[in-house]
Amino acid sequence: MTLIDEPHAFDDLARDVPDDLNPFQAFGELLRQQPQVTIVKLAGLARGGGAEFVAAADMAFAAEGHAGLAQCEALMGITPGGGATPYLSRRMTRGRALEVILGSELIDATTAERYGWINRALPAAEFDGFVDRLARNIAALPEGVIAAAKKAVPLADLGDGYRREHDAWASLFQRPAAEKLIRGGLKAGAQTRDGERNLEGLLRALEI
């Protein structure tokens, strides 16, 4: 959000990222390209870039009654810019991806599982044990199995999706509505602990 006041804050990072990616997309792509299996355990709320991080991992599991995901950028007058649009369009139907992006609601773990955003929603009492057991079982596999499996289940080429996403995000970021909403969100405390707990409500209360 502070890019609205510091548009060049990420210039140094941008010099080191691959062509046709912005720094946020490059971070997700770095995670996606890891040779290890990446597993997210979500027991809290992940919005915006945090939700994109979850979607970039190989697997994600969420605790029922505790976890939530949201892409709430539309409430700031912009679209996601860190990989959400290509990630979600491959994890769920187009209609559900648009619901997540344009509806800008916090999605609970059970719904996220049903939509395909995560692997599984698990009861909180079983959450840690299940994910830890899975990770240990994977780690105990014979050498070469993980690499072979990741090669056999190839990553989608998201190049075109990244370019379309960045163009949409960058074009909206320059508009007066986005500037007013983002500044208003910061003034209302969107970057504070209390503000983030009710981010969608805080942003919806702003006047364009």
Q: Known catalytic residues?
A: 52, 73
Q: How far apart are CA 163 and CA 168, in angstroms?
A: 9
User: Tokens standing for 11?
Assistant: 């210039």
Contacts of 39 (CB under 8 A, 6+ apart): 57, 58, 59, 60, 61, 131, 134, 135
How far does the chain reach from its first CA to its final CA, in angstroms?
16
Amino acid at 138: I
Question: Across 31-163, where does the E strand assignment appear?
Answer: 39-42, 45-47, 59-63, 68-70, 107-108, 120-122
Chain centre to alpha carbon of residue 120: 16
